[in-house]
């Protein structure tokens, strides 16, 4: 049967067809849909882990115990998972294990660009790079077969355009795989130095075998056409290259990119006049090709950042961009993403941004948007969970400098469970006095609503133990814990006042669900009139001062003719933040 699938859906399908029984992940664009799709297959046990390290370790455990397992993550997630991954490479698998990394050239939804092919090389793990959805299926299936044969985990390296592009795939049946037997085998699974030194030697032997295999691997192939230009490419760049050069070039399509096929590369380069290396981000293939003594054109012509889309390649090769329709670009307005109407982050950041002489240490989530106008309420964002620990360091420094500046840290519920909890332990243990705000919107928001340890449900939708954030932070030793409704601005102000006056660490939990969440029965029971009311502007009382617009609600707009503000009724969910911002009492509930 034929079907249009995204790369993410196809990775999950490949795992299903390959008989995978265990999967774990932490959500992160553009990888999130892999586990979401895996969890929809009855035959696969799939779970959300609190972070990528935990996900990786669980998948290692399942493999060691005898099942085929998968772990998926966005590129920065691999930094978190790298610790177990590097040693896992020494041990080798029992049941096959595939590690999927979804890189983001162009940073559509990420804080950095990093080329995780370097991880495969550094950790000495075999790697495949699919170019479209059918290859996602084929490569996942091959990775389990080859991984069990060569005793190695496999990395599958995706990029956003492979993850989120749809192409046609052919669906096949699942092959059930009998679990492998687990036996006590410390010589393979206990990485003590004495054992690890032997495993390190084995790893080198395995790499040699893989280097032989990659020369004949069917995912690496030459497509000879006109030999004046030869293109070496992997992943989505293979199709970008074909778009630009068509039949007027020869191609070396690389699907297995660790180890790279040295003989095949030398052979290809000898057959063509000029070699272009098309790869996004780092000169990973290029450096290898040059090591083989082959002349090639790579990063000296093509950019090492952003996407290498066909127009970019064409402009680099021809020296001129495609002609486009010229128009008056000054008429364009900026349309950056914003907090939704009813977003529970609005009330908090509207008030927090007004505080003077504080540093706001932020984190990764929708709430990072608070850095922009109209809130201007974030001063740093680095990585998941960093808000609390960066805030701790900054507060210690301010205390030492003696300038009296206070630090407020802000992160979401899922981000707190990810790695924020470790940072809070540090804050308490090391006697800091930061104010730490946990935005508990009852779901993992930005990645599209995944369950987390605080929601009471698993990835499969089963009820589970709900970890209450207030209980957890008290257990860590935080004495001052306030749970507030962020839509009530006076509650926000009062909690901030109290916490900023303390010389001890404190936690404020802003508890109100994400407006886009599919509410659970517990949400409906806990939160009164949950987004079920409407507000309106009384035109008699509105003086057109536009103060309410500074709350940054997309449901509100100013009419130049009437000189009044109005609320778009279909968008309004009655959060009431605007009613509290208006000093004239002009915004009221509908009857």
Binding site for other proteins (CB under 8 A): 2, 4, 29-30, 108-109, 132, 160-161, 164-168, 236, 239-240, 242-243, 307, 309-311, 314, 321-328, 331-340, 366, 369, 373-374, 446-448, 546, 549-550, 552-554, 556-558
Smallest gap from residue 525 Cβ to other proteins (A): 28
User: Apex CA 525: angle with CA 520 and CA 529, to 5°?
Assistant: 100
**Beta strand 250-254 pairing with 229-234:** parallel
Smallest gap from residue 331 Cβ to other proteins (A): 5
Three-state helix/strand/coil letters over 446-468: CCCCECCCCCCECCCCCECCCCC
- Closer CB to other proteins, residue 242 or residue 418? 242
Yes or no: say if 536 and 567 are a contact pair by the CB < 8 Å rule: yes
Cα gap 17→23, rounded to integer Å = 14
Cα gap 86→56, rounded to integer Å = 11
- Closer CB to other proteins, residue 31 or residue 63? 31
**Beta strand 22-25 pairing with 564-567:** unpaired
Smallest gap from residue 240 Cβ to other proteins (A): 5
Smallest gap from residue 3 Cβ to other proteins (A): 8
- Closer CB to other proteins, residue 481 or residue 565? 565
Smallest gap from residue 445 Cβ to other proteins (A): 9
- Closer CB to other proteins, residue 480 or residue 536? 536
Cα gap 140→346, rounded to integer Å = 42
Instruction: Indicate the burial class of 471 (C-beta count within 10 angstroms; 0-12, 13-18, 19 or more).
Output: exposed
Smallest gap from residue 163 Cβ to other proteins (A): 9
Tracing tokens 């115990």 back to the chain, one arrives at: 65
- Closer CB to other proteins, residue 94 or residue 159? 159
Instruction: Indicate the burial class of 326 (C-beta count within 10 angstroms; 0-12, 13-18, 19 or more).
Output: exposed
Cα gap 263→278, rounded to integer Å = 19
Cα gap 254→352, rounded to integer Å = 51
- Closer CB to other proteins, residue 199 or residue 366? 366
CA atoms within 13 A on the CB side of 226: 9
- Cα distances from 428 to residues 266, 411, 422, 432, 506, in angstroms, run 58, 17, 10, 6, 9
* Cβ atoms within 10 Å of 267's Cβ, excluding its own: 14
- Closer CB to other proteins, residue 84 or residue 412? 412
Smallest gap from residue 141 Cβ to other proteins (A): 22
Instruction: Indicate the burial class of 111 (C-beta count within 10 angstroms; 0-12, 13-18, 19 or more).
Output: middle
- Closer CB to other proteins, residue 335 or residue 356? 335
- Cα distances from 508 to residues 371, 469, 483, 570, in angstroms, run 19, 10, 6, 32
- Closer CB to other proteins, residue 23 or residue 236? 236
- Closer CB to other proteins, residue 8 or residue 57? 8
Smallest gap from residue 538 Cβ to other proteins (A): 20
DSSP string covering 323-347, please? P-----GGGPPP----PPTT-THHH
> What DSSP designation does 181 have?
P
- Closer CB to other proteins, residue 90 or residue 367? 367
- Closer CB to other proteins, residue 142 or residue 162? 162
Smallest gap from residue 283 Cβ to other proteins (A): 22
Cα gap 291→573, rounded to integer Å = 61
Residue 98's nearest CA partner among 34, 167, 186 is 34
Residue 41, token pair as written in the block? 């297959």
Smallest gap from residue 390 Cβ to other proteins (A): 21
Smallest gap from residue 160 Cβ to other proteins (A): 7
Smallest gap from residue 378 Cβ to other proteins (A): 15
Smallest gap from residue 241 Cβ to other proteins (A): 8
- Closer CB to other proteins, residue 85 or residue 343? 343
Yes or no: say if 279 and 286 are a contact pair by the CB < 8 Å rule: yes
Smallest gap from residue 274 Cβ to other proteins (A): 21
- Cα distances from 316 to residues 228, 322, 360, 468, in angstroms, run 17, 11, 42, 54
- Closer CB to other proteins, residue 120 or residue 565? 565
Cα gap 4→168, rounded to integer Å = 4
Largest CA distance in the chain: 82
> What DSSP designation does 180 have?
P
- Closer CB to other proteins, residue 134 or residue 485? 134
Smallest gap from residue 557 Cβ to other proteins (A): 6
Cα gap 128→115, rounded to integer Å = 14
Residue 258's nearest CA partner among 233, 282, 240, 284 is 284
């Amino acid at each position: 049967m034929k079907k249009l699938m995204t790369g993410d859906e196809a990775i999950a399908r490949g795992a299903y067809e390959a008989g995978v029984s265990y999967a774990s992940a932490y959500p992160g664009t553009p990888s999130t849909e892999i586990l979401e799709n895996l969890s929809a297959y009855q035959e696969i046990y799939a779970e959300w882990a609190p972070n990528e390290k935990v996900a990786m370790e669980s998948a290692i455990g399942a493999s060691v115990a005898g099942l085929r397992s998968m772990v998926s993550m966005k590129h920065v997630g691999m930094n978190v998972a790298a610790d177990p991954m590097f040693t896992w490479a020494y041990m080798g698998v029992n049941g096959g294990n595939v590690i999927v990394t979804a890189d983001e050239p162009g940073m559509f939804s990420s804080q950095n660009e990093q080329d995780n092919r370097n991880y495969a090389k550094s950790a000495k793990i075999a790697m495949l790079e699919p170019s479209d959805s059918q290859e996602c299926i084929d490569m996942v299936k091959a990775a389990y077969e080859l991984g069990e044969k060569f005793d190695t985990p496999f990395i599958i390296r995706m990029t956003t355009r492979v993850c989120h592009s749809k192409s046609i795939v052919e669906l096949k049946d699942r092959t059930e795989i009998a679990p492998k037997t687990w036996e006590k085998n410390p010589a393979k699974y206990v990485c003590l130095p004495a054992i690890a030194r032997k495993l390190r030697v084995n790893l080198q032997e395995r790499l040699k075998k893989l280097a032989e295999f990659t020369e004949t691997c069917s995912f690496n192939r030459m497509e000879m056409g006109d030999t004046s230009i030869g293109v070496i490419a992997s992943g989505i760049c293979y199709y970008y290259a074909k778009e630009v050069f068509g039949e007027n070039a020869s191609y070396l399509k690389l699907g297995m990119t660790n180890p790279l096929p040295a003989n095949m590369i030398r052979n290809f380069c000898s057959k063509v006049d000029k070699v272009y290396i098309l790869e996004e981000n780092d000169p990973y293939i290029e450096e290898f090709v040059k090591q083989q003594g082959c002349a090639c054109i790579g990063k000296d012509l093509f950019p090492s950042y952003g996407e290498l889309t066909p127009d970019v390649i064409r402009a680099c090769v021809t020296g001129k961009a495609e002609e486009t329709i010229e128009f008056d670009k000054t008429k364009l307005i900026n349309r950056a993403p914003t907090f939704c109407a009813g977003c529970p982050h609005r009330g908090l950041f509207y008030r927090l941004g007004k505080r003077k002489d504080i540093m706001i240490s932020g984190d990764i989530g929708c709430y990072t948007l608070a850095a922009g106008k109209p809130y201007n309420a974030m001063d740093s964002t680095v990585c998941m969970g960093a808000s609390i620990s960066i805030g701790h360091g900054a507060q210690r420094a301010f205390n030492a400098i003696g300038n009296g500046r206070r630090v407020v840290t802000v992160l979401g519920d899922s981000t707190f469970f990810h790695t924020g909890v470790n940072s809070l332990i540090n804050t308490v243990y090391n006697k800091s006095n930061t104010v730490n705000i946990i935005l508990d919107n009852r779901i993992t928001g930005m990645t599209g609503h995944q369950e987390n340890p605080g929601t009471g449900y698993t990835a499969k939708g089963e009820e589970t133990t709900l970890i209450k954030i207030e209980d957890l932070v008290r257990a860590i030793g935080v004495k001052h814990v306030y749970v507030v409704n962020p839509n009530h601005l006076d509650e926000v102000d009062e909690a901030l006042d109290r916490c900023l006056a303390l010389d001890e660490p404190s936690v404020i939990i802003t508890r109100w669900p994400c407006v886009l969440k599919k509410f659970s029965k517990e949400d409906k029971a806990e939160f009164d009139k949950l987004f079920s009311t409407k507000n309106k502007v009384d035109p008699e009382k509105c003086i057109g001062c536009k103060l309410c617009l500074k709350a940054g609600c997309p449901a509100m707009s100013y009419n130049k003719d009437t000189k009044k503000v109005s609320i778009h009724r279909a968008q309004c969910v009655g959060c009431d933040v605007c009613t509290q911002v208006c000093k004239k009492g002009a915004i009221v509930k509908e009857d």
